[in-house]
Amino acid sequence: MLNFTKILLSMFLLSATSLFAEEGDIQKATKASAIFTVFGSPRMSQGHPCILMDKEDIARYRERLARDRNLKSEFARLKQWGDQRIQQPLGVPKHEIDSKGQWIYPEYKAGYQDADGKYQWEWKFNGRLQRLANDVSDLGILCLLTGSEAYADYGKKLLLALVDAYGHKQGNPPIDSQWKNHFEPFGFDGGDTALFLAKTCNGYDQIYNLASFTPGEHKQIENDLIRPLAYHLKSQKYMFTSLQPWGMMCLYGVFTAGMTLEDDTLTHAALYGLNGTQEKPTGGIFGYWFVQSAANQDDHWYQSDTMSQLFSLSIMASVAEISWHHGIDLYSYRNAMMKKFFDYPLAFSSVESATSESLETEYNKFIKFKGVTAYDYAYRRYRDPLYLSVIKRMDKTLSMGGNCEIPCLFQDTDSTVTQIGIDIPQ
């Protein structure tokens, strides 16, 4: 298996060089990059966890629990939920094989084609799977913060039950050839798969070191759930050249699965596009997300609404954090291109005619959008005071949201503290 760190580091250096050549002015590019200082240095996380959080992150959360009122309150909420959840039935959809040999979930209705040939979905099945994926992630956080394996053990049981429900290579394939697994006929498309993968991979990463995990159980979860879902998702080619939110979400799902499993095929596809290389990417994170011509062509950052922009920002912040834990600084990449993306949705803050009252109204509307927690990470890396107006107002949570919103950092935001660099997580 290839060494992901070496792949990513060499790709980063090559891409930085190509950026300056593309701009045609190395001095100008170097001077411009200095405007946006990125605080902290990417690190090589050892073992698991290494996705959205690593051991260093967890140690910081634990230390802050003793003195951060907001974090204490959120931890108490999550722990109360977790203590109740591990006493409840797993709640994974039951499956059986019907008289036609089809793998079904009798408590849920499959989709059907209406008179116009359009599929109609009930969505309850999808909603149940997404909630279970959130549970795995939340239980993983609780395990890491408390040290109690009770949460991780229940999370493992959930994952193994999901393996059984997915039924990889079991039963007859769906009658409609467009469906490639047992989940899809019940309303589970590419975007749904990506959401599910991001959350289950994060949770699996957090409970990976559970003492009771056997090699066989690891193999089941990886080879009979995460990997087949990720490879099927990878076959949906549109994601590799898309800056639209759901295209980016699908690529995030493939990338997260690849990094969790240390699967170089998945990771390469997410980074460089299908059949792409670090020298000649055809799409993906480095071949499309951070290419200015793609941004111009897609018009996503300039023309889309705030909800779509924040959805995409949350995805980018998540990818950047996973990369950070594997030695790569996407926050600095291509002249801190990510910072421009964070600044676009906040254009209202620089309108000359704005008053304190109108700004307060705009910020209060802004913080209600899903994905706003990404500004916690933007502030940690760029320390732009503009972002403080967001993170001081937003609700703070340790959980991944329904759309995989990235958890909050609970960092100090007092101006005196941040100026001298105290207690800003690296």
Per-residue pLDDT at 191 = 92
Burial of 340 (C-beta count, 10 Å sphere; 0-12/13-18/19+) = middle
pLDDT at 178: 81
276-284: Cβ within 8 A, 24+ apart: 278/7, 278/10, 278/11, 278/14, 278/15, 279/14, 282/240, 283/240, 283/241, 284/240, 284/251
Check: CB of residue 323 under 8 Å from CB of residue 330.
yes
| Per-residue tokens: 108 | 């849920």
Structure tokens at 257: 């699965």
Residue 19 tokens read as 């950026």
Contacts of 118 (CB under 8 A, 6+ apart): none
Terminal-residue alpha carbon distance, the chain: 29
174 close to 185: Cβ distance less than 8 angstroms: yes
Whole-number pLDDT of residue 34: 41
What is the C-alpha separation between 201 and 197, in angstroms, rounded? 6
Q: CA nearest 230: which of 190, 202, 203?
A: 190
Selection from 288, 296, 293, 335 nearest residue 316 by Cα: 288
The residues of the chain scoring below 50 in pLDDT are: 1-2, 4-6, 9-34, 415-426
Query: CA 60, 63, 66, 68 torsion: positive or negative?
Result: negative
